[in-house]
Structure 1
């Protein structure tokens, strides 16, 4: 598989955009004309060729630019990457998972050579050639989790399992949708999901927790989640709210297509072999409204989803200030025709 990397930015001048190929492979999250919050977990099995589900770890045209943006965020705030001392085995589990998957599925980009504990990792897009001893953090320029997640798209949380719960005890989180690793680290599964509306009434997260506690090694699962953001900014963290929060008030009927983005997270979960921890990956994708409406089915469906969204969910997702402006703009692209079931373009 050949990947052509774009040079773009996710802050300041915002030069991010999707090629036509990236639009077609975008993980559009709505299979019908309405949205109801649900766990929607499925097996993380290989999907269609050239889709974000084709391989366990997805590398796309934005890879180099996203890694550059991550490095900027970490330089400004090192606390976006944290790990409690007992998570070191899980960190090495994550190194193995990501390196082996990236080298297997993108051999033209990455190479992993293993001779016992002596490993050599080559990352051609980022011009990295590193020999290290697996299990010896002193042989890497960064701690193991930080080292590999500086080279992999998406955020990663490592969840320790104990006391019949999952605890967020490590993570690399630089492109989150308005939540804070520094605040959530050390919390358990139910604590960090507490702000989600309707969760207590539906007991949805108790069921999700029970499912994940029984997650088996070699049987990863995935789900799609979504929100919206103004401008193609990856770092919409509480720590930087002063830099992006006011953008919500800048949406006008004239700039909706360019500024308003659907933000979709492909969330996958693996049981790790040595630590028995779970890695929770959060791979984000952005598409603005001008790009989205090039797929007529998506334009019609997203208009209807956004129009019918429950107010408490709209408030939780931070859409209230520009939701109606976006609905009105999308209405021009909804001819009232029925949409066929499923996610993919017609």
Structure 2
């Protein structure tokens, strides 16, 4: 048993920095000292009451660090290894996992914020505490399932590694895995936050052209241009008309990276016939989206849901890490704010204000 400082959610929009008790890793588990944790929009959804989570919750799911100890039966990791956490660990035995489709695993305990044996490794004031998505990376140390910790090169910076664990994998994966975008195809990205910029990086990597980005703030659009956007427009209800001024027939692929029902609803109208709309941003619970199904059918358009960019962490995290190390994926340029744990609430306020780039907690 040990204690660790962590950011705790107890049902209010602000996090409390508390001392949490962390047990030793059990069979099939690893203890990780966190080097960095991203401050992600999915965390904000919980704080703002959009999604329900068991409480108290140790927040953070976008983390990277160093393995300090391993439990019985762990074979893929050893102390000293540098790892990125995945917020959706696969069970490895369900039908989806056996088909290699780990992003739709039906046996994971991640969404319930529990480890494979149904337990949590943390307690607060003697009561059970739940690490968000079975990670809880806004903590100095965590205990996670072996399959939730993916080994990466030690030269990979922790702040870059943390973002690979969620926003980068989600954005690049949406382009490469879900849309299967081919070079020369036209694309629209709605929302130039962390995931939106990751999608832009993926589009640039894949050779999309043009890359049109829509957002409501000038700062975000400026950042989008730095990462490869060829055209930028303000996002509003007239977006389909503005897109067709640039690409008269509509774009081949559109990505919604915010999770707003109104922008998801207009996305199909930006597409050419036979085009594909990909929902990447996650909307609040119980917020249905009106879609013109007849237009989708008559014009042969597709509407896809993207979960984690169809990422297979054991395969994709090392690949994304190497792309960064080779200079082909400028993830470090996305980080605009490196903060200590005590300033985490300020980072969420920046996110709510529409500040450009990403905040990362450095331990």
Q: TM-score, normalised by structure 1?
A: 0.25
The structure in which a higher percent of residues are strand is 2
TM-score using structure 2 length: 0.25
**Highest RCO, 1 vs 2 (Cα 8 Å, sep ≥ 6):** 1
